[in-house]
């Protein structure tokens, strides 16, 4: 189990990485955003919608709430609108995480997955899955961005945290 402060760091990294993907995608045409690839949900726009939907779904599960239906990943959501959706989840998630204590991370939560199967896990494990899910799909996004002619996006965690060394 990790500490609440570590959780904040991982989620700030996730937010930064999501923002980088959205910024890299904003100039693409609908043809580029919707070009089908045999990776993940199938196109850059669909992958981005999937990342957002996953973050929204895990937030609902963390809260012990019933999931809303999975969104239509074929919807032609403009990148600016998708960025607003990410921001909305971020705001709600920040409030939720801000109220957590170290002890609450070990609480067990029962939830149903998108297929209706019942599961139980600690909040800590569920939080980690929410973080890992996004990382996995962002890697797919980087691959698709490169394949549609976009600039390489470096989302490595160490790229986010590293600082130039001061040499004396």
Domain definitions of the chain by residue range:
4-161
- Angle CA 100–103–109, to nearest 5: 75
| Three-state SS at 29 | coil
54 is written with which tokens? 């996953």
Q: What is the pLDDT of residues 22-65, one digit of tens each?
A: 999 999 999 999 999 998 899 999 999 999 999 999 999 998 88
Give the domain 4-161 fold.
Answer: 1.20.120
What confidence tens digit (pLDDT) does each residue in 118-148 have? Answer: 899 999 999 989 888 999 899 999 999 999 9
Alpha-carbon distances of 58 from 54, 68, 143, rounded to whole Å: 6, 11, 24
Q: What is the dihedral of CA 79, 81, 84, 90, to 10 degrees?
A: -60
Q: DSSP E strands: which ranges in the chain?
A: 108-112, 118-122
Q: In angstroms, rounded to a whole number, what is the distance separating the alpha carbons of residues 57 and 14?
A: 16
Q: Do residues 114 and 67 make contact, with C-beta atoms less than 8 angstroms apart?
A: yes
34-45 pLDDT tens trace: 999 998 899 999
Secondary structure (DSSP) of 149-165 = TPPP----HHHHH----
Please check the confidence at residue 1 and state whether its pLDDT lies above 60. Answer: no
Q: How far apart are CA 24 and CA 135, in angstroms?
A: 16
Residue 4 has pLDDT above 70, yes or no: no
Q: Are 83 and 113 in contact (CB under 8 A)?
A: no
Residue 26 near residue 79 (C-beta atoms within 8 A): yes
pTM for the predicted model, two decimal places = 0.90
């Amino acid at each position: 189990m990790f500490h609440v402060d570590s959780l904040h760091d991982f989620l700030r990294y996730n937010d930064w990485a999501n923002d980088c993907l959205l910024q890299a995608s904003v100039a693409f045409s609908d043809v580029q955003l919707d070009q089908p690839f045999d990776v993940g949900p199938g196109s850059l726009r669909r992958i981005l919608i999937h990342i957002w939907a996953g973050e929204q779904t895990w937030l609902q599960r963390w809260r012990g709430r019933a999931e809303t239906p999975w969104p239509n990943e074929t919807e032609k959501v403009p990148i600016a609108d998708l960025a607003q959706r990410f921001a909305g989840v971020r705001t709600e998630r920040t409030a939720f995480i801000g109220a957590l204590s170290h002890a609450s991370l070990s609480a067990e939560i029962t939830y149903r997955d998108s297929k209706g199967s019942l599961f139980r896990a600690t909040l800590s494990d569920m939080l980690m899955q929410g973080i890992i899910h996004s990382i996995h799909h962002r890697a797919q996004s980087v691959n698709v961005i490169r394949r549609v002619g976009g600039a390489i996006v470096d989302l490595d965690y160490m790229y986010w945290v590293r600082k130039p060394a001061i040499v004396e």
